[in-house]
DNA sequence: CCTATATGCAACTATTTGGTTGCATGTTGT
DNA sequence: ACAACATGCAACCAAATAGTTGCATATAGG
């Protein structure tokens, strides 16, 4: 189960908040993103790094600032993995229902 | 971001494996589930407990054994939260595209 | 040029997590 | 009744995580 990494990255309120923000604006600088998260700039930076490692966001240097952008491909995979578990479960329920009815 | 809990629960290979298994059979006992996960029974039990806390699985006592079943409602929420982030991002891209074109 | 800004890096600490072992307890089948 | 089975609970440990502070460094703007 290599997929665990992405969920781990999503499993923190600060990181989710960062993603939330990123989804509503095309690009943030690290500084902007790190503000008002309830932790220090370096604390926020560490959380951001977790998202970078999980390939959910990308960084691009621009002079003295760094731009952060969202990359939804990992999110799509995460979503479809959950969807697969759900659908297998649905199939199971269906099979059980048929068995009871016959 | 209260939603973090569910992703945290999914963020571990052993727990994902447990969910995978649960999705393909209507019910497992704790003992069955705990086997062949590469950790001790009690180790596996701890991981299972994380899934219980996150409300992804339910336990039901049955004599000396305990049945484990999947509950997909939390998974659905997790999936739709990701979907929302993705779609907001898509909207952003769309807006940016329109801006460039005009 | 010089100051303010945006950021990075390292050391350190407390807490949480993932795992173990050992032992206790209720349940079942013979 | 009793042995085997399914499970729970607690103590313990190592490693990972979340956060801090302090200091360094490069870039931008007046």
Q: Give A6-53 pLDDT, tens digit per residue.
A: 999 999 999 999 999 999 998 899 999 999 999 999 999 999 999 999
Starting at the edge strand found earlier in the chain, the sheet holding B28-29 runs: B28-29, B65-70, B57-62
CATH number for the domain harbouring residue A52: 1.10.10.10
For B62, which DSSP code? E
Q: Domain count of chain A?
A: 1
With a pLDDT cut of 90, the percent of chain A lying above it is 84
Confidence of residue A78 (pLDDT cuts 50, 70, 90): very high
C-beta separation of B33 from B47 below 8 A: no
Going from the C-alpha of B101 to that of each of A100, B87, B91, B95, B97, the distances in angstroms are 59, 21, 15, 10, 6
What residues of chain B lie within 8 A of the CB of A4, using their CB?
10-13, 15-16
Name the residue closest to C18, CA to C1'. B43
- Chain A touched by B69 (CB under 8 Å): no
Mean pLDDT, residues B24-49: 96
Question: How would you list the strands of the sheet with A65-70, edge to edge?
Answer: A28-29, A65-70, A57-62
Range of the domain at B75: 4-101
| pLDDT for position A60 | 97
Mean pLDDT, chain B, whole residue set: 94
Residue B102 has a pLDDT of 67
CA B45 to C1' C19, whole Å: 11
Encode pLDDT of B66-87 as tens digits.
999 999 999 999 999 999 999 9
CA distance B82 to B94: 18
């Amino acid at each position: 189960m290599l997929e665990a990494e992405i969920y781990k990255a999503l499993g923190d309120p600060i990181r989710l908040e960062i993603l939330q923000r990123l989804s509503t604006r095309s690009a943030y600088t690290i500084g902007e993103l790190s503000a008002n998260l309830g932790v220090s700039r370096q604390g926020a930076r560490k959380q951001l790094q977790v998202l970078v490692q999980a390939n959910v966001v990308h960084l691009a240097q621009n002079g003295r600032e760094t731009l952060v952008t969202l990359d939804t491909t990992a999110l799509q995979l995460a979503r479809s993995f959950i969807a697969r578990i759900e659908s297998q479960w649905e199939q199971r329920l269906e099979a059980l229902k048929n068995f009871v009815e016959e």
